[in-house]
Structure 1
């Protein structure tokens, strides 16, 4: 054995992969851990989604290899979803690529565009996979700050002072994870202008747009956005289907075609039953979103109460599936996370895993029933 590739030394195991093993072991030992850390929806998909899967699975002709680009009906449903929800017209044959979860799209996009030594703009705080994939491809992440007082606006003024000649990609994420900053049309327009001037490829990672967010936006709906941007979207959070692994990449045809070259060498298409379930989900009406958001609104109020009891501060105008909380001055986020887990059997996420700008923060997930959040509140009472 001559050793692993050098790239494996540039990344650690994904935080939740390792931490959930520990939490699982605690549960196996009989500890009643309440998991407020990970954003895996506990609610079920709509019954029509499950029926579509079941009906397809019973068809003996449905179990063969599928198209790398998904069935035409799936792409048409994705295009219809973008038209209804964002006012964006997409060619379902050229501007949409179904994915086995949008997380794989981060890798496929990066492999299609990056060479060793290229630079990538990554938000700090931000989703850790942007950084790890950049390292795996021997490219260099360049971190930029966002202003939580201005809906997560990137610090363009600082960015303009940098040498951006080696930057090829810029990751953006609105509504932002982990902070819940909503973004705005004005911010997306600034990003499009920035990308045009610096000849960057923008990628908006957009899985949270319908969760506690009154104005779902797509960067592809901004004038000029289709020329400089791609967008990832997912059914995981919006339709309670995280384990189904169904996502999509949308944007200009030549870029989608290049990414398909990567993807088609790495998988053999999505099971037809999953595609049929996704089609049913994408065609649900507005009542689906309002019903989900009513549940999340009630849960968020309880998380706010939990945060208040812990002396944490948060932005009540934030959106998305999480509550991002700042520690009191002089208090350690890691110490709070450990105390809650080991003394109170409550798991929350330390902000440091999202970058250095998260060191003074913790994150709560809304993916837990109200009675469990109430139990967590009771556990921390003096």
Structure 2
């Protein structure tokens, strides 16, 4: 008979009986040496990096970006968190407009330039990290007043402002190295975005529309990607794409800002969440409609085909569902809706690539007929 009710550290007495200890795990659990998953209260932006669970007697782990950061050496860890490498959603949202532009600029029937996608991916990691460093240097005192941001490295004292400044210089130097791999037009265009990167953190102090400035900053890649591939911007395509990205940012970052609105009021921080209040959903519908219209215009100017518009319809449905089911007073729901925008962006990227391949096939048909 298994000692399922006996202590895992029970010892056999001289009379062959087990002594029991209260509040101890069962013998079977000890033999398996497993730990039951622990429950945790929700904190926006924080998720368990390694969550062991008992599945048929084996340990299973879910690896995340936070797990990689937690496994880094102790002295390095605060700097990785300062770059937000443990929360990659921001990097995705910065990178996706770049990928849309690169994919739209590809020749008909061709996949997007994979080398360019990789280069912009590295640039997105570095520039998002630099932007977060600048933001946290400006917002040290404000971050201490908001529960979600009080543990950021600069706010909690793990990284000093002078250390952050040196680290910022390193990130910008590496990002400059990435930028110098592009053509001269793109180098000048990319350098022009630095003023937005530096001034964005100030906007929450002087306007209720810092999300608009974030949109202008985060979607610069919609211009830069096309220029890097083609040598210059085609404004008939790039401007509608850029406009759509800005509208998209107003949607997801307004949702994001609703997580902190109570703390923001106390700290004197301004946001579209506070400005729009109970009218948030109608405004989000307007931003979403403008985004869809801009993407349709960009597709028309780029000569896109059926798969692109099918993806655009799916993106529109995704936005509609986000907004209709959003509970602005529930931080956990706001976080889930915010994070879901990565899938929205990937869906549009897939539509651009498929539409471009289909366009190449469509254009190749008449050429084969003429050649015969």
Q: Normalising to structure 2: TM-score of the pair? A: 0.26
Greater strand content: 1
Greater helix content: 2
- If you compute each CA radius of gyration, which structure gives the higher value, 1 or 2? 2
